Structure 1
Amino acid sequence: MANTFATAAAPPRMTARQRATLVVLLGAQFMFAVDFSILTVALPEIQGDLGFGIDSLQWVVTAFALTAAGFMLLFGRIGDLFGRKRLFLFGMLMLTVSSLVGGLATSPEMMIIARTAQGLATAIVTPSGMALITTSFPEGPLRNRALGLNGALLSLGFAVGAVLGGVLTDLLSWRWNFLINIPVGIVLFVAALGLITESRSPNRPKLDVPGAITVTLGLLALVFGLTGAERAGWSSPETLVSLGAAIVLLVSFYLIELKSSAPLAPVSVLHSNSVRWGNLGGLLTFSMESGMAFLLTLYMQQVLDLSPFQAGLMFGFLGTGAFLGGSLSSKVIGRLGAKNTLVLGLVVQAVNTGVLFWLGQEMTVSVAVVLLTTFVGGFGHVLAIVSYTVVSTSGISDDEQGLATGLATMTQQIGFTLGTPVVSAIAATQYGELHDGVATPAGVLSGTTFGFLVDGLIILAGAVLIAIFLRTAVAPALGAREATENVSA
């Protein structure tokens, strides 16, 4: 009897094939997380080599994030219909080819084409990879463990990307930030071909083509309007028309999703107070953190004159703080509750971003301030990530849990997409006169520090609103700890 009980209570173990499959799927997700940040510290080098202006440089980041966010929901549905393995393989092939194009780029246009294709590859592989993880492991401890590892590697990948990008740019060339994907992509493609089992959704959901078109064009118009504000000003016809079109398209998308029988974005669950305010917290923490990272790259290399390698190492402190936040998040949520942890995380991120307003050109003090604030701010950022996911999936019925999770994922992608162009447009108002698209170090200092201040104030304002209006109590400590296993660390 005792032996029977012990056997029944023993945690399930992965088979050798499951472990190998998980390595391939997590390897792909880690690779895409690295790709999101690997060019961050290389941007000034790319600007000089290819002739980007400072007002258009952010498109190297935005072209990737925009296509990833705009098409991810659509390709997730296509994978459900036509096969997730098939789509996963196609995405890995697209990433490998687009990385070769990026590594050989000789003009801004060629670079943007390569980054757009990389974003599309991300939109293809990420949802199919997540679906393959959930279908490869039964619901319970094994799936929770796989999803927990996925979340940890996504956070680690962002930090590793910045460090690796600095090393490759400094020791070899920024081109190797692209070329390194080629052998890795080939290995993962071949391994996936033999290890992964094909899966499809048994329900054969319809494609929400109107929703996909309106959200993609709406995000594109919004980003184009924001970048147009840098070039022509906020009151220019170009900016106003683009932003007006974005509003019309995104409102249309919302109305389409409310009526669609198979919506790309489950906006109907926004009736829940916790879903609504939790996703606002997620949108703020993701968008403002990605915008801060873009400005910090410009500051470290164009004001402090650090090398890409040195700048990449400094981003490692942000990654360390983020890792610590992920490790302690369940304990903090268990003690404070998810709502209070979300507010705390946002306030910590806001304060440590806003403090960067007082940065100057003095090397020693500035480096110390950047290291300390990015470490503590990264800790707060990940507290906000974990708690927003818990909040935004709480207080709703079981049959809406899948919708709430999908909406939280969409929030993350839109945040990544909008952060850099929004904060870049704010900073551009203070760059001063440009010479051949390039600002002076004093202009970059003025613009980036102003951007840091506004970035922090936006997060702080969101934290105050959430503290006031988020009324729904979130699960007790045990439920919170279980929920954090499935979210990004």
Structure 2
Amino acid sequence: MPTDTLPPDTLPPATPRADARPPLADTPPPAKAPAPEPMSARAKLILLVLCAAQFIVALDFSILNVALPVLGRDLGMGQADLQWAVTAFALPSGGFLLLFGRIADLYGRRRLFLTGLALFAAASVLAALAWGPAAFLTGRALQGLGAAVIVPTGMSLLTTTFAEGPQRERALGISGTLLSTGFTIGMVLGGVLTDSLGWRSTMGVLAVAGVAVLAVAPALLTESRHPGRPRIDIPGAVTVTGGLLSLIYALSTAAEAGFGRPDVPAALALGLVLLVAFVIVESRADQPLVSLPMLRRPTVAWGNLAGLVTFATMSAVVFLLTLYLQEVLRLSAFHTGLVFGVQGLFAVLSGIVAPKLIGRIGARRTLLTGLAVQAVFTAALLSVGTAPSAVWFVTVAMTVACFGHLWAIISYGVIVTSGVPDTEQGLATGLVTSSQQIGITVGIPLLSALASGRIASLREGGAGFADATLGGIRLGLGADALVVAAVAVLSAVGLARAARRTRPDYTPSK
């Protein structure tokens, strides 16, 4: 992994201080760094298995979106109940990530990864064969629980299999690309499967894919765990899991019912209280679930903030543009999926470019460049109108914004996991994936509520449906671009300051 120092020819001569901290690992390598060793055939197969598991989970986030109306009619679920098809998965998948990431560190990442895959596949079968709403929602909740096991354990197996440096950057690049494109491909695949084979096939394909990965994973993966086998911090586990569950429930519900429903602010308040309690518990625990010094590491803090925001804002852009393409330009669900399918195809190219960019300019600069590109091209979407030809501009702007988004995803994963010992990789990757899951959950309800309020206001003022909808979408896109730009600036300052402090010639100001 390249170190976070300036190139040797730009550094003033200095004698390294005895107490200097190790440099942050996110800037360019020395000019004559040795070429990275190629991956072995076994390492490539391990990477394929781990990335396939992550891709399946990413598909599950969106594959049901266009199938919900058909599913509701088949199972007798009312419109108000359909949100639970999404929420039942989102609650456990986001709420238990940190807990299972830490359990994997202590009791075996391979064992837990295989257990999660088996649970996910079995739950997908239950959801596919569901005879009523209760069985279907139970299957979705168990899918979410399996995902909460698969994602952090898969990521920690990846980061402990591939050493820090070019190989890990390449592995994280492939994993990040598949995670992002899986969400987009899920929408296209869900529409095709629902139209041709019915909604149950969307759950069936996940079961088949899960079984396929489970069949080959045991022969490739080796066990790894924390050598000391410390105890699990039960109070910390209860408070952080309860806090995340409460926040995810509140935001998922607000996306459908709005923030005015009484249980939404109550759940938000409970979630915040539990997370504050979690910080207090962790500061006093002998063996905390989450090391507070780790959270205070600049790379962990700023990297996860950037990751949360890039996921939250891009998922919100996808939602707002889906509304724009279908409600303003009157595209069908299938053609809307094709627009995002183009974005997904080019995301693969972006994932190939990102590790090379990290090797050339460093993870920190790649992260900031990615956020800047995402912000600029999201802002460019403010110019869209009601002309049908706007679909081409949307396709191009979204594709370029997605390039920046993928650069940010891959580089923030590199930044957060750099310099973390193998014994805490499950925790580090649990934080990474928590940022991803929470970001996806937070972005849509917040910006959809903002857009919906603007649409209602314009409609009350006499604007037509298309004009009012366009006005709300523009407000949401503008807010989205501003948030990404602000976080890019804050991350640039925070990470640059941290990089200066790790230079050998750094002297703290008195």
For 1:333 and 1:186, how far apart are their aligned partners in 2?
35
Find the counterpart in structure 1 of residue 393 from structure 2: 369
Instruction: Please tell me whether the aligned partners of residues 101 and 114 of structure 1 are also in contact (alpha carbons under 8 angstroms).
Output: yes
| Number of the residue aligned with 2:63 | 38
Q: What is the TM-score normalised by the length of structure 2?
A: 0.75
1:421 corresponds in structure 2 to: 445
Aligned counterparts of 2:495 and 2:78: Cα–Cα separation in 1: 42
1:292 to 317, 322, 343: 317
Query: Alpha-carbon deviations, 1:190-229, whole Å to 9, x = none?
Result: 3334554444432213222222222222223223333555
Q: Shift in Å at residue 67 of structure 1?
A: 1.7
Q: Deviations over 1:401-455 (max 9, x none)?
A: 8565654343233323322333333334346499xxxxx8777656544433332
1:312 is matched with 337
Match of 1:289, SS state, is helix
Q: CA deviation at 1:113?
A: 3.3
Moved more, 245-254 or 121-130: 121-130
Structure-2 change in CA distance of 1:432 and 1:179 (3 Å): farther
Q: Which stretch of structure 1 is more off in the superposition, 425-434 or 293-302?
A: 425-434
Aligned CA distance change for structure 1 residues 184 and 385 (closer, same or farther; 3 Å): closer
Mapping for residues 407-418 of structure 1, pairs under 5 Å = 407-418=431-442
| SS of alignment partner, residue 310 of structure 1 | helix
Cα deviation, residue 180, structure 1: 0.9
Matched, 1:157 2:182: yes
Q: Distance in 1 between matches of 2:187 and 2:216?
A: 27
CA distance in 1, matches of 2:110, 2:318: 34
Counterpart pick for 1:217 among 242, 267, 271:
242
CA drift of 1:320 comes to: 3.5
CA distance in structure 1 between the partners assigned to 2:156 and 2:358 by the alignment: 27
Residue number in structure 2 paired with 1:181 = 206
Which of 403, 412, 418 lines up with 1:379 in the alignment? 403
**2:442 partner letter:** L
SS of the residue 2:496 aligns to:
coil
Determine if contact 1:42/1:308 at 8 Å carries over to the other structure. Answer: no
**Structure 1 residues 135 and 407: alpha-carbon distance in aligned structure 2, compared to 1, 3 A threshold:** closer
Pairwise mapping of residues 108-127 of structure 1 onto structure 2 (< 5 A)? 111-127=136-152
2:392 is paired with a residue whose SS is helix
- How many residue pairs align between the two structures? 460
Give 1:460's match in structure 2, choosing from 478, 482, 485: 485
Distance in 2, Cα, partners of 1:13 & 1:277: 30
Q: 1:103 to 1:414 in 2, by over 3 A?
A: same
Greater CA drift, 292-301 or 201-210: 292-301
Q: Contact conserved, 1:274 with 1:472, CA < 8 A, in 2?
A: no
Contact 2:94–2:248, Cα closer than 8 Å, also in 1: no
Q: What is the CA-CA distance between 1:349 and the residue it aligns to?
A: 1.6
Q: Which runs of 5+ in 1 are unaligned?
A: 1-8, 435-439, 476-489
1:14 aligned partner = 40
Shift of 1:245: 1.4
Decide whether the 8 Å contact of 2:177 with 2:406 is kept in 1.
no
Determine the C-alpha separation between the residues in 2 that align with 1:470 and 1:416: 24
1:323 aligns with 2:361: no
Match of 1:281 in 2: 306
Q: 2:240·2:275 contact (CA, 8 Å) conserved in 1?
A: yes
Q: Do 1:72 and 1:127's aligned partners in 2 also have CA atoms closer than 8 Å?
A: yes
Residues 11-70 of structure 1, C-alpha deviation per residue, up to 9 Å, x if partnerless?
476366x65555433332222222233334445655666677777755544443332221
How many Å separate the matches in 1 of 2:467 and 2:122?
Answer: 39
Residue 417 of structure 1 aligns to a residue whose secondary structure is: helix
Aligned sequence identity (%) = 47
Name the residue aligned to 2:233.
208
